[in-house]
Chains A and B, each alone.
Chain A
Amino acid sequence: MSGRDGEFAEYVDTRLPVMRRTAYLLCGDWHRAEDLVQTALSKLYVVWPRLRASAGIDAYARTVLVRTSIDESRKAFRRRESTTSEPPELSVPPSGVEDAVDVRRALGQLPAGQRAVVVLRYWEDLSITETARVLGRTEGTVKSQAAKGLAALRELLAAGRTVLEGQS
């Protein structure tokens, strides 16, 4: 294995599980999450020689992942496969549905950009400035999207019986 591949493999070994989770939160499907991660990392591989000299590899990877996810969500075939605003039919009453399902469903109803802001701010723990840089948006937009995203989540979860309390 070449030096390039070896170092890249080391990075992938370390970061793949983390990126996979972030991708899942962005798209809501584990298979699609792995597709997103593979696409993002293969893009990273192309620019690896010049990227490895900097300390910002992960920031770059995160940016590629999030933007790829948003691009994918805009494609028509993805829209056809997206969840609808109505919950799917359940074989058990809603009271039996686990919290995880509620959260996934609520996340799935956020617009892609808003969802990305929520994931970057509250899962990746990025600052407003870092989130704006990743998404290529203004800090004002990120603040607004974060507030709207949280409000929407709260509303959706409250409607789905799970209450998100005390968040701003």
Chain B
Amino acid sequence: MGSISVRAVSKRFETGDVDVTALEAVDLQVRDQEFVTLVGASGCGKSTLLNLVAGFETPSSGEVLVDGAPVRGPGPDRGVVFQQTALFPWLTVEENIAFGLSLRANRGKGEVKPIVERLLERTGLAAFRTRRPAELSGGMRQRAAIASVLAIDPSTLLMDEPFGALDALTRSIMQDFLLELWEARRKTVVLVTHDIDEAIYLADRTIIMTAHPGRICEAIEVDLPRPRRYEMRSSAAFIRLRDHVTQIVRAEALKGTAPLGAPASPALVPSMTQSAQN
């Protein structure tokens, strides 16, 4: 439960006269319980791809299947963790974690109290259960947000730069925290990030995306042993992977920032001529 299949998906956004092609002919298979990270420069469509799987967007062409069924809108089988933590400011930590389970759609997923209790324990938030989100640090807030999504026990976890707003130290602690949760109870994870170290450290497979239009450039199997440990980041294998990914991502990012006086990136041109033909 939790396999994702993206087939020949394109996504165009109409902004005034110009169509922006966010994604073009993207194919991606994610196995059940696989940890996949999407990495790329900004504008490569990695968040758009995640939103398509989440059901917040619909593809302009192609199809997105989850467990063989086409995605029709968001649903509790695909838990989304947002960069901007989605906690209700008027609810306490434990009420936030219980929120999903109290919805009609999730009746019968188990007794609310023990689940909340277990998640508070596992996220180290038990002592902060009656705090409101505004009273928590950034890292604690994101742990609470992850707990609130895990409470509804989705088969797939979709994470959109979940640690992007955190400082470097907290971020690396949160990465280990996420891996620990995942090792304890494996789910399919698709995590979007622009942090290359994070993309490699977490993943079974890292997908590198390129911009204008958004395409999958390369998929890299990360064959580092599990469970991952922080020290692995200085291993030769990790560094080799990182250099490889950095090279591609950097080259792409530089293409987007043409030197002064030079014509706009040629990569922009196809999507504009395409819209002219439409």
Question: A and B: partners?
Answer: no
Name A residues whose Cβ lies closer than 8 Å to a Cβ of B. Answer: none
